Structure formats: structure tokens, C-alpha cells
Structure 1
Amino acid sequence: MSGLDSSARSLAAAHLTACDREPIHILGTLQPHGFLLALDGPELRVVQASANVPDLPGRPAAEIHGMPLRRAVPEVFDAVAAYRAAEPEGAGASHLGSVTLDTVEGLRSYDLAAHPSAGLLVLECEEIASEAASARSLDALYPRLSAFVEGLHAAASVPDLCALLARDIRHITGFDRALVYRFDRDWHGTVVAEDGNGVLPSYLDLRFPASDIPAQARELYRRNRLRIIPDAGYAPVPIRPTLTPATGQPLDLSQSILRSVSPVHVEYMRNMGTQASMSVSILVDGALWGLISCHNKAPRRVPLQARNACDFLTRIFALQLAAMEGRAAAEQRIRLGAIQARLLGYMAEEEQFIDGLLHHPEDVLALADAAGAAVVTAERCELLGRTPSADEVRGLHAWLSRHRSKDRVFVTDALGEAYPPAAAFADRASGVLAISISQKYPSYVLWFRPEVVQTVRWGGNPNKAATPDPAAGGDRLHPRKSFEIWKETVQGRALPWSEAEIGAAKDLRAAVLGIVLRRAEELAALSEELQRSNKELEAFSYSVSHDLRAPFRHIVGYSELLRSRETDRLTDKGRHYVDTIAEAALSAGRLVDNLLAFSQMGRNSLNRVTGDMTLLVEEVRRKMMRDLPPERVIRWQIGPLGRVYADPVMLRLAIENLLSNAVKYTRDKSEAMIEVGRAPDRDGEAAFFVRDNGVGFDMSYVGKLFGVFQRLHRVEEFEGTGIGLANVRRIVERHGGRTWAEGSLGAGATFHFTLPLREGGR
């Protein structure tokens, strides 16, 4: 089946827009497996209530409006009052425990949840199904949680992580099918992992259109992570009155657990052949990465504790996912940074900097993982690799100059959609990444990727039908009735450019402009790239530490609740399990707090204190000697070095780099000699040196010593990354000091650095 034409895509976009306008957060109804009270004021008076509030002895449901909560439902008052007094952070629902009400129809047990909404406090009481008793025990869930965390460490890839999550979520919930559904940049979703019992058909590897989950639904998924529909055939329960008396607006149920479901979504579920569903949002760095979507052929209730376990598993999964994807992205950035550094060096050596690119086509193509590239100015059109013809590239250059002149970077994986003449050379350039390399003239570096023809397997025809609906004032969007595999051949598209590749192109553009402005040396260094990578790693460490605090607090809290409220029902072994869980969670929480403090320290500016330089060098030396083989003979000569005013963490790193270099480059000596000393102070600076009798270096290359990735010895002779001395220079310069070196081949080397004698001194 051929790809969608432009008119079909326009119609689909119009339908999606109509669906986007559905007010699913203010439908004014609930699912019937619980009831809701909207409370106002210091007395928590009931201003709105769902129509299914149970009658209590002496308090008919019809009389509840305007009544203080203490009289309306006295059994829940203490829990709600404690929640309000605690002033909870955020707008999400908080679980307050469980309660049993003696209604006129008999005893009923409920799980309580509360959240703020437009100045009101919304209390939801979800009825506890009798068959959920066995699943409510933390002991029953803990082994699965523990095994899941262990499995995360063994997972070698993102697909492995997703498969593990789908399996464990389905095991905990008992649903017929559990899917891990990932969004792409256009918000289409693909099922990347699945676990099922065969009752429902497999959707693995199928794609679903963005219109299945419109924009406002995605926002609700982001804000309210867990959603359950026990029975799609339910009769909605209205909230009375429909509008909040104080505001005249419908009650916002964005954070509601019991919130009713869009009629379109109910129809969608029926068409899928499912009667119950549950979804858990997968958030990475606060953005919606995907969903865990669970389905059951028959109605099914999932108890609160099981749902909380699913939420906990998903958060842990998201942290591991972010770590894995972040590590891959960081590795790619470092690799591209090394290529960029080489290109900058080549350009700096050429009289015409563009020749530095043209003489090294392999690195130019590798920087963006492209099949071809072009450097185009008003006078030149130079082609590298597999590209369109010179005339075709000239035409594209003219279009970019006319229509994209304000774009510093132009990126697309479907050039033909923006520039129709590109259809003629789609096999060579369906994807284009272009950077402007002049502030004044229309000059560009362009990278090309060829068309990759794909067959996309959709879960049913993604073109939704709209039928006239006079009551709605126009057409009504209906979900498709069939989810049989529907294939679409996608043409005119290349593999998308990654953020790291786009970032590398942007950095190259900045560097080229810097060379034109005679700032090649400053931009050739990779200090900015390394600083950005460090900040990302620090931010990730901070995020992991911060996000883990709440789950551990929940574990401790529920353990304490279980120990205090269920102690008569627990065996000695059960109490031991609960104590062990609480102790482990407290220990992990302390570890997280320490990690958080560490990451915050790394995010702060210099923290200078006065310290003993001799003690610092001696500590580094002792630590280094513990890692050396016993046959190494090193004669050390240290100090006295006096006191310095510096950041001790950064200064330690600089000393470690200098001493490790001295140890490394003297390892061929039968007796190495390493001296650390202090020269006479002058001009407000304390001057230090590290001298060794190692292999030394040729002074004609001294200018390269402190550069990023600059090495004067082959890696086969001496290991290293080539950034140690660059870090030394960066640390010293941040303190306001200077670095330089002296040496000769075979006769050792001396590295000097200075530190101001007082804060701000230079």
C-alpha cells in the first residue's frame, strides 16, 4: 500500500485537531468503582459530590452537600486533616491509606486519595475489591520488585529493558497483555515490547498514529502517571452540582484516579476487543517517552498496592533507561567531539580554512554520519562522497539562501516535503543537515543522507473516519474498527539526524565563525564540549538522586503503616521482612542523600579554602603508590609547599594528573625520581613545580602540551586520553593562575603552575 498523500495527511491533521479540543479533564463524571467529594474551606465542607456517595446510618447521601467532612464521612476526617496539615508538594494525588465504612448496605472498604484542584481539596474513595486482599501485602510484592531491580542491571540494551518491564508489569497486574509503547518525534507510537497470555492478539512492532493519543491526552499522561479503567462498559457517575459553586467552572479532574473516560476512548477499547486497561506513563527527564499499556479481554480490577508497585517499577525503569540512553549519547558526543577537534586543527593549519575540510573528507562525513557533503559559497561548490550533482546542490543552496537565510542550522529527514525539486535526487539526499558558515554571505556546509524506503506496519489503517454529527456541530471523529496489520511504504525519507550530530554541526559552525574572526585557538579546544558533558552528567546524577527520594520514602512509610496497622495479622517472619524492608529503604535513602549532596557540590562554583599543600600532595602520593606494582622504585622529594587558597577538590584533581603523568613517564627508569617543590613567591602568586627524570619531550612541541587530545608520545608507548594536562590548565586558570612546562627528550620534564596568594589575585 502506498504512502499517504498530502490531502489525506491534511484531513488527518484536521481530525486530530478536532480530537485535541475534547475536554477530557473536565468531563464531569466518574467511573463507578468509587466516589468523590470536593471539599472547601477550613471545615472541609462538601461543595460537590459524585452521585454514588453511599448512604450512612443517620446521613443520607442526598444531605451531604454543604456538610463538613467531620459529619459527612467522619471515618476519613483524620486522614484528610493530616494530609492538609502536611501541605503536600505538587498537584498529584496522594494516597492516605484505607478505611472501612459502615454503610446502610453493609461494610465497604475504600482506598483514600486526595489532591488539590483550583483551591479545592478533592477526596477520592476507591472501593477495594474483595479478591484484592492477597495482592495487598507488601510481602507478596517485594520479591518481584527486588528481582526486577536485579534484572535491570543485567539488561544489555533498551529492548531488553522494555521486555523485562512488560513481563513484570503483566505478572503483577494479571492482565492478558502488557505493551511498552514508545513515542517518536512525531508522536506516533510503536510497540517495542510485549508480554501476553495469548488471549489478545500480539501488537509487537506495530505502529499507532499520533491521533490515537491526542495532545491533551498526552499532557494528562505526563501529569498523571497512572490510569486504570476496570470496566469499559461502565455507566458514568455524574458529579453534582456540575459546576463548582465558587467559580462556576467544571471540576478539574486532571489528577483524578476515578476520572471518567472519553467516549472516543471507550469506543476505541471496544473496537480493540478489550474491557479493561491500565496505563503507566514513562517519563524521562520530565518528558513523556512512552507508555506501558495493559489490556484485558474481560473487566479486571487491579488493587492499589499492585498499581503502586507498577508505578515504582516504571520509575526505576525510567532512571535506568535515561542512564543507558544518556551514556550512549555521551559516548557519541565524545566521539564526534574528537572528530571536530581534528577538523578544527586542520582548518587552523590552512591558509583557506575551507581547505581543512576538503582535504579530510572522511572526518567531514563522519562528523554527521553522512554519505555525502558539500561546501558551497558564492564562488565554490565542492562535493565530497555521494551527493546530488553540482547544479542540484547549487539549486538547493539558492533555496536555502532565499527561504532559510535566517536559519543558522537547517535539518530535515524529508527534504522533498520542504523543497519539492529534491524528489529528483531522493536516492542521494532525502536527508539534509546544513549549517551557515558566514554571518555576511550565503555560505553553507551541507551533509546528505540517502532515502531509506521503509515498510511501516500500522495497527490498522491510521486514517480515521469522521462522520457527520449535527449534535456536536460538525463531524465526529471515530476510532478505527479494525486493528489488522496495515502496511504503508514510506518513501522520500532518510534516517533522522541525532541530537548529538546536530549539536556537532552547530559546534563546527561556531568554530568556523571563530576561525574567520581569528579565534581558532580558543574554539579548537574542547573545553566547552567537556564542560557541557560534565554538566549533563552532574544534572543526571542530581535528577536520579532527587527522583529516588520519594520512592524510598514511600517504601518506609508503607512499611511503617503495615507494621503499625497490620501487626496482629503478621507472623514473626512477616514482621522481620517488614523491618528488613524499612531498614534497607532507610539505608538507601541515606545513600541517595549523600549522592545528592555530592552532585550539588559539583554544580556549584569554586569553593576556596586555605589548606596545607604538602599534606594534599602527600595524600595523593600515598594513594598512587598503593596502585603501583611492588617492583617499581620511585624516589620522592616533596616540599615544603606551604599553604594555598584554592578549591581542594579541583586542586586534588590537578595534582593527581601531574603526579600520575610523572609516574607514567618514568616507568622505564630503574629508579625514578619525582620532585614536587615551591619556587619563591612573586607578583602575588605562589609558584609550584613537578619535576621527573622520565622520557621528557621536544620543546618545539611545548605549545601542544596543554591542548585537548594533544599527545607527544604514541598511545602504544604510554596510555592516556590526552586531556589530563588540559584539565590541569583549566583548573589552574579557573583559580586565576598560569601553567607552563620545560623538558628535553630523554632527560625528563618539569611542569609549573601558579596560584594566587589571595582570592581574586592574579
Structure 2
Amino acid sequence: MKPEDFEELLANCADEPIRFPGAIQPHGVLLTLSEPDLHILQVSANVAALFNNTAESLLGQPLHTLIGVEHAEVVHAIAEGDTFSEAAPLHVTLNGRDFEGLLHRHQQVLVLEFEPRLKDFRPRVLKGRTSDLGKMLQRLQAAKTLQALYEISVTEIQAMTGYDRVLIYRFEEEGHGQVIAEASAPSMERFNGLFFPASDIPEQARELYRTNWLRIIPNAAYEPVPLVPKLRPDTGQPLDLSFSTLRSVSPVHCQYMQNMGVLSSMSISLMKGDKLWGLISCGNREPLMVPHDLRVACQTIGQVLSLQISAMEALDLSRQREEKLETLAQLDQAMKASEHSVFDGLAQQPRLLMDLTVSGGVAIIEDKQLHRYGNCPEPAQIRALHKWLQDSGEPVFSSHNLASVYPPGAEFQRVASGVLAMSLPKPVDNGVLWFRPEAKENIHWSGDPKKPLALESSDAGLRLRPRTSFEIWKVEMAGISTQWSHGDRFAANDLRRSALENDLARQVLREQQAMRARDELVAVVSHDLRNPMTVISMLCGMMQKAFSSDGPHTSRRISSAIDTMQQAAARMNVLLEDLLDTSKIEAGRYMVKPVALDVSQMFEEAYSLLAPLALEKGIDLSFNAEPGLQINGDPERLFQVLSNLIGNAIKFTPRQGNIGISAMSNGEEIVFSVRDSGEGIAPEQLPHVFDRYWTQTENNPTGSGLGLYITQGIVQAHGGRIVAESELGRGSEFRFTVPKVMEESHT
């Protein structure tokens, strides 16, 4: 047979429709019912043998024709009240035999199942069973360790049910499972500690275990009983039996059971949250039917055990974390104390780093630097591994079988079969990698793990069959280290968090220091230059008196040069003031000292200062304010805003133009407007007018680009906002707001 044909058979097995078998186990009868009239839609073919009614005679009939009006009314009440989980089994006598009826709804159809009622099942156990169950639950809750919890569970369930073997099977991360506790009759083959391949319980079977707490097979040698009709009459689809107690199981699984030497089984799911953690698996050499009430008790045990496992694992994880906290605190302090970087601080504590994760070696990477301590791969191998880790995008990575995911790891698996790594999101290569050496160990499998399934011939050709051998199969595992615990992974994540916080704190400190240095430089430069500028201005004034413009030609030239020097000095003073203001705004330390100001008085002062500039260009300058307006503002700074906006308007408005300045109340604010009939600002430039160093270079060769940026800073420092609107050829308008002085209320 070709390998691809075998793979196809495996795929077909994995896709077997176990939810829709179209048949049930023969020890009971299944019916599907319409709602709300409770007419029989489907029935299992064995209804004739067990109930002495043919399937054809029951189809389409109301349920009461089979079980009587009283029982049918109980079924109707359960369905109408949606109380399936709370309802007691329906006890009926049919064809001279007692049956229990169990009801559930799935995919918009009622499913009613009848099982034989076992009155005399193990009277020794059933007598006082409720108290026994209570005592057993107390013993479960009193268990001090997880292993003790497992041992109590399997021993008690075996005593309650009488199964020859009860074991707990835990699923491992790799997909396979291990038997971690077992209670078996002396004659049974022991499986405790053995591993079973993942294919023994395919993924779709695991999903069914996840959604349904319990499954029972009283006799694996049964012949499936088909449903009549095969498909649902209301949908034309197969009936989903996911939650059916009588669901027929895969024939491969029935053969698997018989190969293991058992004919009866019961499985109880163990859940951790919404994930399948494991199974309580019960098996018996002879057919065994466990009554419903005892199955409910076993399911309760499974649910309590699931909660106990989750709680005790959580406590164990908490303990693992607490054991790491002191070392993590010491490493955090080392990162804080380092003068250079967090990784330099870690490099000073290699023993602490290795103790943190119980590793045999550690490597610390920061850009071109690579520090190695203990038993590590070669530098080139570490660099290559680190690049692969960076490309994977996982900030924290762990593997106890590195070569299985990173084939080059086979070259150094002796020293680094296990790797735990963390890195920070920085532009340079960085990270910490912990290494654990290969720990060769013998894994004991139940049968050859490489041959979980075999082939056999049948009338339909070749088909898969489960393995027949469960003899212990010893496999030496190479390239595997001891597993990284939850505590180890927690430590790597916490160290990464701490490194990020410390690295960010360093960056913030460096930026703060850079800002302070810049501010100090600007202040020193401004102070050191302001004095010379003042001296230059004074000397220019003195020289101006000595050289009258009415004097000889040489005197006029000197006088003109002095005028230029005075203008340059004044210009430099303005620039120095702008630089100081800009520095304060960027640092968030721009302060204003607001007082109550009269808007009309502000406008008068602005007009007296700026009107001469407007008159030189024949520009009509008008001020208009609502009477009695008062604002909370810094007089010097707000005058600077008005001067800047009006000065710009004069600069960019052609001769004979007009500029209007207004102020009006808008609730709790005063809205100022400076509108001109100038050349306007291009649409692509308008969003940037308040940016640093933005300037409209045309007609403004000496602009610094800081005026509007500072203006915006002053307005925002007052708690206001400023906006600009403009249209090329039609002028611009700048509007800003300042809080008004609120009138005191009188009572």
C-alpha cells in the first residue's frame, strides 16, 4: 500500500462523523419528538424488541400512545419549562419491563431516551450511597496534594461502580496523554505511568468529551441499532447525537476496547475552565451497565475533581511564582543600579539569572555585545538562534525540545535542548536566553507510538484497525531537556516587564535631562547675548547723536549704518525672547499671570501702537468690542498675541486694504477675531501655520516662524484655543478665545 493511501485512511478516520452515527447502542430506545405536540419523528429500530411496538406504527403518532397521557404530560412540562438538567428520570413500565426516560433538546428537536431501570444494581453500594458520596467528596476536598487527589478519586469510583479498572488520563501539551493514577483489579494489566499516543483519542473525540461530561458503553461487542427514518423528517439531515446517552460510538473504538481486554467502559471528562484537561476512564472485562443515578454521582465527582484540580494547580502556580519573587526583585535592583543599560545590569548578575530559571547557561545580548555564562552554545549559534526568535515575533519563547521547532538546534542540543528567551522591542538586538542541557530519559509507551493504527482486509477492501498490542514500549527521548515550569515562564515574563519599565524610565530621564540642558543653554545664551545687545543699542544711540544726518556725506553714511545696527540689535532681542518662549512652551512650563482686563482698554493701547504702521500703507485699521467685556488674562502676553496677529495682518495686506479686530462674548468665553483683506494663505499651508518655524516667506524675508507658534502657546496657556481660516486672494481670519470674568451672583 502506498504511504499516501495510508494517510488518506487516517484522514478519513479523523473525519468520521461520530456526532451523526445514525444509530444507537441496543440496550435502550431513542425517540425524537416534535414540539409542542410531541409527535414521534424518529425511533430506534429496536423498539419492536424492547417495547413490542413496530417503528412504522409509532412514527407520526403522539407520544402518549406509547407511554400514556400522564407520562406524556410530564415530558411536556419538562420541555416547556426547559428544566432538563433538573428533572428526575421518567419511570415507565413498557412490555412488562421498567425503564428510565431521559430527555434533552438539541438543534431544535426533543430527544427522549429509555434505558432499563436497574433496581438491584450493587445493593451493598447503593445502600446509604448518598452519605458515601458525601464522605467521598469530603475526602477529595481534604487531599493535600494533586497526586493524593487522583488516587482517592480512582479508588472511590472503582468501589462505587465495580469497574475492573479506573484510571485518570491527563492530556499533555504535545497531544499525547499519560495515565497518572490507577485503581485496578489484580488480574488487570497495569497502565499507570504509561503514555498513549494522541491518535488513541482523535481531536473530534476530544471535542465531544469537552462538551459532554460522560459517555458509557455497557457492551463494546454490540450491534448498532439504526434510527427509523435514517434522516430527520423536519430537516432532512442526520440526527446530532452529541448529547445522547445511547449514541453509537465508532467501531474502531469498540475494537480498541476489546483489544485492551475490556467490554464495558465509562468516561468522565475532567475540565480546566473550558479546556479538556483529562479523563476518568473506567473499564470492565465483562459487560456492565451502571444505572443513571450512579452515573450522575460519578459525573458529580468528575466536576468536583475538576474544580479541585484547577484550585490546587492554581495554588501550585502561585507558589511557583512566589519562589521567584525575591530573585526578580534583586535583578530589578541590578537593572536600576546599572549606569549604562538594563542588560548591562543583568550581565553583572549571571548567577542570579541562572538561578531564576534553574538553567545551565545564560546569554545576554545587547547590540554588538554578547555575554555568555555557564554552558552555552557558541556565539555564532546563539546569534543565529536569536535572529530566528526575533523573526518569530514572540517576546517570550520557551521550548524543552528546541530541535523540533528549530532544526539547527540539533547541533548544540547537548548543552541547549531547552531554551527560554525574552527580548525588548528596541531598535537594536537584545535579549536574554536561558539554556538547559539534554536530559535523556526513557519514556514508557503503551505499545509502539509510531504504529498506533494498523491495516486489515475486509469485504470493502483495506481498512484501519486499532493496535492490538499494549505492551510497554520503551523509547529513549533525545534532544529534550527538563520542561520549563509555569514559574520559569512567569519569571521570564516578569523580568521582561521589569526591564521594559526600567528601560522606559531611563529614556524618560535622558529626555528630561536633555530638555533641561537645552533650556539652560537657551537661558544662558539669551542672558549672555542680551547684555551685549543692550550695550550695542546704547552705543548706537550715542553715536547717532554725534553723526547728524544733516552733516557731511560721510556722516550720513555712518548714521545710516548705525540705524542698521540698531535694527539688527532689536531684531536679535526679539529672537532671543522668542527662543525663550518656545523653550518654555515645549517643556510645558509656559506660565501666565491672569488678572481682570478691560477689552476696550486693550484695544485702545493696541491701536495707539499699531495704527502708525497701518497708516504707512494706507490700511484702514478698525477695532470693535462689545461694551463692558472683561477677561481673565495676562496683559503683557495677550498684548503680545494681538500685536503678533495684527502685525502679521498689516505685513501681508496690500496697500489701501483693511483690517478689522473684534471681540464678542460667547457664553463663558470672549472670542477675538483679526480679519484682513490680504493675499491669504494657500490651502496646503493653512494646517501648518501654528507649527514651529512655519513662515510665509513671500513678503516676509525676516520672519522667524515662531510668532504664531508662540501665539498659540500663549492662548492655550490661558485655557483658550486659536484657529485660522483663509482664502487665497480674499484674506485671512484668526480667531482665539479667552475666558471672561464671570460676574458675581447676587442673592
What TM-score, normalized to structure 2? 0.64
Partners of 2:12 and 2:86 lie apart in 1 by: 33
- Corresponding residue number in structure 2 for 1:208: 196
Question: Are 2:446 and 1:459 aligned?
Answer: yes
Contact 1:274 1:295 in 2 (8 A): yes
The partner residue of 1:167 within 143, 150, 155 is 155
Q: Which has the larger radius of gyration?
A: 2
Amino acid at match of 1:100: V
Counterparts in 2 of 1:18 and 1:295: CA distance versus 1, 3 Å: same
Amino acid at match of 1:400: L
Question: Are 2:15 and 1:21 aligned?
Answer: yes
Counterparts in 2 of 1:305 and 1:228: CA distance versus 1, 3 Å: same
The partner residue of 1:503 within 490, 495, 498 is 490
Amino acid at match of 1:491: A
- Could you say what secondary structure the match of 1:266 adopts? helix
Question: Are 2:385 and 1:385 aligned?
Answer: no
Contact 1:284 1:318 in 2 (8 A): yes
What are the superposed Cα offsets for residues 488-542 of structure 1, whole Å, 9 maximum, x if unpaired? 11110112223342233223223323322227999xxxxxxxxxxxxxxxxxxxx
Superposition pairs of residues 252-291 of structure 1, within 5 angstroms: 252-291=240-279
Residue 17 of structure 1: CA displacement? 4.2
- Corresponding residue number in structure 1 for 2:334: 346
Superposition pairs of residues 221-232 of structure 1, within 5 angstroms: 221-232=209-220
- Corresponding residue number in structure 1 for 2:308: 320
Partners of 2:130 and 2:385 lie apart in 1 by: 60
The partner residue of 2:60 within 66, 70, 88 is 66
- Corresponding residue number in structure 2 for 1:248: 236
- Corresponding residue number in structure 1 for 2:418: 431
Partners of 1:56 and 1:465 lie apart in 2 by: 37
Counterparts in 2 of 1:461 and 1:133: CA distance versus 1, 3 Å: closer
- Could you say what secondary structure the match of 1:253 adopts? coil
Counterparts in 2 of 1:475 and 1:185: CA distance versus 1, 3 Å: farther
What are the superposed Cα offsets for residues 569-622 of structure 1, whole Å, 9 maximum, x if unpaired? xxxxxxxxxxxxxxxxxxxxxxxxxxxxxxxxxxxxxxxxxxxxxxxxxxxxxx
The partner residue of 2:47 within 53, 57, 63 is 53
Partners of 2:102 and 2:51 lie apart in 1 by: 23
Partners of 2:456 and 2:49 lie apart in 1 by: 43
- Corresponding residue number in structure 2 for 1:443: 430
Counterparts in 2 of 1:274 and 1:307: CA distance versus 1, 3 Å: same
Residue 469 of structure 1: CA displacement? 7.0
- Could you say what secondary structure the match of 1:375 adopts? strand
What are the superposed Cα offsets for residues 57-99 of structure 1, whole Å, 9 maximum, x if unpaired? 996543111112233322531331121122248xxx6653231
- Corresponding residue number in structure 1 for 2:709: none
Contact 1:94 1:114 in 2 (8 A): no
Amino acid at match of 2:249: V
- Could you say what secondary structure the match of 2:89 adopts? strand
Counterparts in 2 of 1:199 and 1:82: CA distance versus 1, 3 Å: farther
- Determine what percentage of the aligned residue pairs are the same residue: 39
Residue 470 of structure 1: CA displacement? 9.2
Question: Are 2:89 and 1:97 aligned?
Answer: yes
Residue 27 of structure 1: CA displacement? 0.4
Amino acid at match of 1:168: E
- Could you say what secondary structure the match of 1:363 adopts? helix
- Corresponding residue number in structure 2 for 1:491: 478
Moved more, 355-364 or 13-22: 13-22
What are the superposed Cα offsets for residues 261-316 of structure 1, whole Å, 9 maximum, x if unpaired? 10100110111111111111111222211111111111111111211111112222
Contact 1:49 1:241 in 2 (8 A): yes
Partners of 1:143 and 1:280 lie apart in 2 by: 21
Question: Are 2:394 and 1:399 aligned?
Answer: no
The partner residue of 1:302 within 278, 282, 290 is 290
Question: Are 2:143 and 1:155 aligned?
Answer: yes
Question: Are 2:407 and 1:413 aligned?
Answer: no
What TM-score, normalized to structure 1? 0.62
- Corresponding residue number in structure 2 for 1:112: 101
- Could you say what secondary structure the match of 1:517 adopts? helix
Contact 2:125 2:160 in 1 (8 A): no
Question: Are 2:74 and 1:79 aligned?
Answer: yes
What are the superposed Cα offsets for residues 141-170 of structure 1, whole Å, 9 maximum, x if unpaired? 123213322322442321111111110111
Residue 458 of structure 1: CA displacement? 0.9
Moved more, 322-331 or 55-64: 55-64
Residue 339 of structure 1: CA displacement? 2.8
Counterparts in 2 of 1:286 and 1:56: CA distance versus 1, 3 Å: closer
Contact 1:135 1:305 in 2 (8 A): no
Q: Mark the runs of 5 or more structure 1 residues left unpaired by the alignment.
A: 1-6, 523-762
Contact 1:458 1:486 in 2 (8 A): yes
- Could you say what secondary structure the match of 1:233 adopts? coil
The partner residue of 1:33 within 21, 27, 30 is 27
- Could you say what secondary structure the match of 1:96 adopts? coil
Higher relative contact order, chain-length normalized (CA < 8 Å, sep 6+): 1
Partners of 2:422 and 2:52 lie apart in 1 by: 76
- Could you say what secondary structure the match of 1:125 adopts? strand
- Could you say what secondary structure the match of 1:311 adopts? helix
What are the superposed Cα offsets for residues 642-698 of structure 1, whole Å, 9 maximum, x if unpaired? xxxxxxxxxxxxxxxxxxxxxxxxxxxxxxxxxxxxxxxxxxxxxxxxxxxxxxxxx
The partner residue of 2:171 within 183, 198, 202 is 183
Counterparts in 2 of 1:170 and 1:60: CA distance versus 1, 3 Å: same
Give the aligned CA root-mean-square deviation in angstroms: 2.8
Contact 1:136 1:304 in 2 (8 A): no
Amino acid at match of 2:208: L
Counterparts in 2 of 1:22 and 1:480: CA distance versus 1, 3 Å: same
Amino acid at match of 2:118: A
Partners of 1:312 and 1:56 lie apart in 2 by: 30
Partners of 1:450 and 1:56 lie apart in 2 by: 64
Amino acid at match of 2:74: A
- Corresponding residue number in structure 2 for 1:143: 131
Counterparts in 2 of 1:61 and 1:249: CA distance versus 1, 3 Å: closer
Contact 2:92 2:101 in 1 (8 A): no
Partners of 2:444 and 2:11 lie apart in 1 by: 24
Residue 420 of structure 1: CA displacement? 2.3
Query: What is the number of equivalent residue pairs in this alignment?
Result: 505
Residue 226 of structure 1: CA displacement? 0.9
- Could you say what secondary structure the match of 2:104 adopts? strand
Partners of 2:163 and 2:458 lie apart in 1 by: 39
Partners of 2:359 and 2:5 lie apart in 1 by: 34
Contact 1:416 1:422 in 2 (8 A): yes
- Could you say what secondary structure the match of 2:16 adopts? coil
Counterparts in 2 of 1:13 and 1:153: CA distance versus 1, 3 Å: farther
What are the superposed Cα offsets for residues 717-741 of structure 1, whole Å, 9 maximum, x if unpaired? xxxxxxxxxxxxxxxxxxxxxxxxx
Amino acid at match of 1:20: A
Partners of 1:514 and 1:520 lie apart in 2 by: 10
What are the superposed Cα offsets for residues 557-577 of structure 1, whole Å, 9 maximum, x if unpaired? xxxxxxxxxxxxxxxxxxxxx
The partner residue of 1:515 within 474, 497, 502 is 502
Partners of 2:347 and 2:142 lie apart in 1 by: 45
Counterparts in 2 of 1:372 and 1:275: CA distance versus 1, 3 Å: same
- Could you say what secondary structure the match of 2:189 adopts? coil
Amino acid at match of 1:82: A
Question: Are 2:361 and 1:372 aligned?
Answer: yes
- Could you say what secondary structure the match of 1:407 adopts? coil
What are the superposed Cα offsets for residues 614-640 of structure 1, whole Å, 9 maximum, x if unpaired? xxxxxxxxxxxxxxxxxxxxxxxxxxx
Counterparts in 2 of 1:302 and 1:192: CA distance versus 1, 3 Å: same
